Amino acid sequence: MGKASWLPEGLQEGFQDLINEAKPKLTKEDFTARLEQHLKNQKLSQKPSEAVIAKLVDKALSFLKQMYALEKMRRIVESADWKKRMRALRTIMKKAPVTRQLDAFETCLKKFEKQKYRLAMPLVQTVQRQTKPLRKSIANLESDLNLLYQLSKNEKDIVSGWLKPEPISQFMFEIDNYLKRVMPKIKISERRLIVGGCAFSAALLPRTAAADLDLINSRVYRAAQSFRREAKKSAPE
């Protein structure tokens, strides 16, 4: 069902909405110029094509938008107001009327749906008529509360998930996998130098680190290990 009118106005601003509002300072032109200069300095035997570079630009800008959204959502999730809202929500869900209580109430009414209780029948029927919209209202309330709780929980899960491994390492791992597919014959060392160049061009690493193969290899390796661990945790027994 749709968002209830009484839910907080900011609720519809989810992670994707934060990504959409992000406006990275980095431009495609700046990224391309920095990357091309880096590649020229490294004297690679094989350089990425214009199409590949354009894709690398898109990936970098997408990552920067995600980083903006992540940081904004992290501040929201870590705020005292957000934590108080979660406590209030759990309390309301625990105390709010539930469908099973209404089931018990209706079962009690049915005991008087007999001809021998003729005087009680009009009363029972009146209550039953009024119970129908009440049931619908309670069902809607429970659904809205569950929706709000799940959306709020997802906010925290997104922040926690993105921080494992470190976001910059995730970016470098993604770039490495992409280059592995589109440039399968390039040497691993040269591929990793392109990865470092992308991180430098996106202002994620200093110039010197962009050519440090030990650092780049370590970041890509740690990200791969972390993703494997997470995959094992989520795998069915």
Are the beta carbons of 185 and 191 closer than 8 angstroms?
no
When pLDDT is averaged across residues 90-116 and rounded to a whole number, the result is: 74
Q: Is 2 helix (H, G, I), strand (E, B) or coil?
A: coil
Query: Quick one: pLDDT at residue 114?
Result: 67
Q: Say how many Å lie between the first and final Cα of the chain, rounded.
A: 33
DSSP for residue 5? T
DSSP for residue 115? G
CA dist list (Å): 213 to 66, 134, 192, 223: 26, 66, 7, 15
Alpha-carbon distance of 148 to 92, in angstroms, equals 12
pLDDT of residue 235 exceeding 80, the answer is: no
CA dist list (Å): 233 to 211, 227, 230: 34, 10, 5
Ranges 62-66, 74-78, 230-234, most confident: 62-66
Query: Quick one: pLDDT at residue 117?
Result: 66
The mean of the pLDDT values for the chain is 82
pLDDT, tens only, 13-41: 677 777 888 888 889 999 999 999 999 99
When pLDDT is averaged across residues 164-192 and rounded to a whole number, the result is: 92
